[in-house]
């Protein structure tokens, strides 16, 4: 029995040594465990053995950290193509080459963002956006080139009539539309395609329970910066900052999370995976994330203090009522979803306070002075209303009505 056990151990050690020799790689127990957990270990080893050292290291990282379902079923040709084009961008662009290896591996190399369909987005987006960034000398310049052109280049616009929430880039481009989740996936992937580290960020719900929102962060000059589809040059200053300031770090339903490929301290609550009312803790947990709520609270506070001290902004308060002429009593108040725009740029959005809230409690937004804004909301019949408002130097209150 001892002799048989000894021979078995020698055989296993020989197989491991042979694999390491063939791939010219030191033995990696995490990678080996991941391969052995798959339903196709021979195919994964074959893919690694057929690759050069740079591709093999990148493939090894992905295989080690990818979700188990992808390790078992994802097209290996697609996996190889993803690595090929990721390294093509890395070897081509100086901003990619200057990245710490960990940042490149966790936020440029990955082939997916959340649970979207795995498709051949990297090659397609590289071919679309490389001509735009080839003349850029900095990562920020490349980001602006991507984000200022992405609606025109991809043909994708915001539209809630999209087929589903978590669309892949190809699904969004086929329809020409996506919601904030699909737009964020598309922007993350377009950035990654040209060597810009990017990650998906979002909340399961804002503080007033008006639903989830998703956006993008990019890693520039050693820090994660906030951006969004349609905002080519703005970083860390977007329309939802007032809402982000009210997020709750200790409540998963109202916290803000950033995705992370590989080892992660937490998981991303993909609310689109459940039916309405599904408990947050019942959602799938296979997409890693980190809780970044406090960063957004601090960022929003810093912006408010800076704008207030500079004297460039003032407060716009919005109160909702059921009908004109009835604004004196709490029972007259109505919860109305309202968005505020300056031209085509959204400045903010939220819900007006309802009848059970204090009469002094109003939806409030800090916005630039001396400008005209448009309030957009639906009346009781569901018809879109547009109300122009000029905001001068002093704080002002505007009433909107359901009837």
Tens digits of per-residue pLDDT, 211-253? 899 999 999 999 999 999 987 777 997 778 878 888 999 999 9
78, 110 contact by CB (below 8 A): no
Give 166-210 pLDDT, tens digit per residue: 999 999 999 999 999 999 999 999 999 999 999 999 999 988 887
> What confidence score (pLDDT) does residue 164 get?
95
Is residue 7 over pLDDT 80?
no
CATH of domain 312-401: 2.60.40.2190
Q: How many residues does the chain have?
A: 403
What's residue 260's pLDDT? 96
pTM for the model stands at 0.81
CB 380 within 8 A of CB 366: no
Per-residue pLDDT reduced to its tens digit, 52-100: 999 999 999 999 999 999 999 999 999 999 999 999 999 999 999 999 9
In sequence order, the 6+-apart residues with CB closer than 8 A to the CB of 47 are: 59, 76, 79, 80
Angle CA 251–230–186, to nearest 5: 70
Question: What residues contact residue 357 under an 8 Å CB cut-off, 6+ apart?
Answer: 330, 333
Q: Element (H or E) spanning 290, and its range?
A: strand 288-291
Going by C-alpha positions, the residue among 120, 45, 28, 38 that lies closest to residue 83 is: 120
Is residue 346 scored above 70 in pLDDT? Answer: yes
Q: Among candidates 59, 67, 176, 65, which has minimal Cα distance to 115?
A: 67
Q: Is the pLDDT of residue 127 over 90?
A: yes
Domain ranges of the chain: 98-302, 312-401
CATH architecture of 98-302: Roll (3.10)
Measured on CA atoms in the order 173, 174, 179, 182, is the torsion positive or negative? negative
Is-contact 136 142, C-beta < 8 A? yes
Q: Is 261 exposed, middle or buried (0-12, 13-18, 19+ CB in 10 A)?
A: buried
At residue 22, the pLDDT reads 47
Question: CB within 8 A of 142, min separation 6: which ones?
Answer: 93, 95, 133, 136, 194, 195, 196
Banded pLDDT at 306 (limits 50, 70, 90): confident
Note the pLDDT of residue 295.
Answer: 96
Nearest one of 382, 388, 372 to 402, comparing CA atoms: 382
Q: Are 157 and 93 in contact (CB under 8 A)?
A: no
């Amino acid at each position: 029995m001892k002799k048989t056990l000894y021979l078995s151990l020698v055989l296993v050690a020989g197989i491991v040594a042979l694999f390491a020799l063939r791939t010219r790689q030191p033995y990696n127990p995490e990678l080996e465990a991941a391969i052995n957990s798959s339903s196709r270990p021979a195919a994964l080893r074959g893919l690694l053995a057929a690759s050069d050292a740079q591709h093999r290291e990148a493939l090894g990282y992905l295989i080690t950290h990818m979700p188990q379902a992808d390790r078992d079923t994802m097209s290996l040709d697609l996996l190889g193509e993803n690595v090929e084009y990721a390294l093509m961008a890395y070897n081509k662009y100086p901003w990619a080459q200057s990245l710490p290896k960990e940042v490149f591996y966790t936020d440029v190399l990955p082939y997916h963002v959340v649970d979207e369909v795995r498709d051949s987005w990297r090659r397609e987006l590289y071919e679309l956006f490389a001509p735009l960034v080839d003349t850029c000398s900095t990562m920020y310049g490349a980001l602006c080139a991507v984000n200022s052109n992405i609606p025109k280049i991809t043909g994708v616009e915001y539209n809630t009539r999209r087929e589903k929430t978590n669309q892949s880039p190809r699904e969004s481009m086929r329809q020409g539309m996506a919601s904030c989740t699909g737009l964020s996936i598309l922007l993350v992937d377009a950035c990654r395609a040209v060597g810009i580290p990017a990650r998906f960020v979002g909340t399961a719900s804002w503080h007033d329970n008006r639903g989830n929102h998703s956006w993008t962060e990019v890693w520039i000059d050693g820090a994660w910066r906030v951006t969004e589809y349609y905002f080519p040059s703005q970083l860390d200053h977007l329309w939802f900052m007032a809402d982000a300031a009210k997020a709750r770090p200790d409540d998963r339903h109202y916290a803000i999370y950033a995705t992370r490929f590989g080892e992660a301290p937490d998981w991303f609550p993909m609310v689109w995976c459940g039916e309405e009312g599904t408990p947050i803790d019942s959602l799938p947990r296979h997409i890693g994330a980190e809780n970044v709520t406090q960063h957004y609270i601090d960022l929003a506070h810093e912006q408010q203090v800076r704008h207030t001290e500079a004297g460039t902004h003032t407060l716009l308060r919005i109160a909702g009522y059921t009908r004109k002429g009835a604004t004196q009593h709490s029972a007259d108040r109505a919860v109305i979803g309202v968005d505020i725009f300056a031209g085509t740029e959204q400045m903010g959005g939220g819900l007006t306070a309802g009848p059970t809230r204090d009469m002094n409690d109003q939806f409030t937004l800090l916005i630039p002075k001396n400008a005209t804004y448009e309030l957009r909301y639906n009346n009781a019949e569901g018809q879109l209303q547009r109300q122009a408002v000029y905001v001068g130097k002093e704080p002002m209150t505007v009433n909107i009505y359901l009837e």
